[in-house]
Amino acid sequence: MSRDSAQVLSRGFAMAESPRWHGERLWLCDWGAQKIVALKEDGTLETEFAGDFGLPFCIDWLRDGRLLVVAGGKNALLRQEPDGAFAVHADLAGISTQRWNEVVVDGRDIST
């Protein structure tokens, strides 16, 4: 695919949010399906995680490759451990009871 053309790679998302390029794939949070999916350039779609993250939710990665998920409905920032389980990286309820949405991780692994 050239830079001058656009191509539909996949369809059928309930509500795709938080696009991130990571590991040669486009990652998306499908809010309606409660899934985190990754899309290869050839259009192959892989479900990476499915579960109740609450709405809204979004993703980013720490420098060591661990996935972070903002679980907005749970007021928590979750971190995926090497065994695949999610642990609380930060409890956000003490800061605000509003639903959290976006996350950005800088080069020092500071999440904002």
**Chain segment 78-94, per-residue pLDDT in tens:** 999 999 999 999 999 98
Q: Is residue 32 part of a domain?
A: yes
Beta bridge partners of residue 80, listed in sequence order:
86
Query: Model-level pTM?
Result: 0.83
CA distance to 4, 7, 15, 108, 110, per residue, from 37 (Å): 26, 19, 12, 26, 24
Total domains in the fold of the chain: 1
The string of pLDDT tens digits covering residues 13-50 is 999 999 999 999 999 999 999 999 999 988 899 999 99
CATH number of the domain encompassing residue 34: 2.40.10.500
Domain of 20 in residue numbering reads as 16-91
Q: Is residue 11 part of a domain?
A: no
> 103 and 112 in contact (C-beta within 8 Å)?
yes
Has residue 53 got a pLDDT over 80?
yes
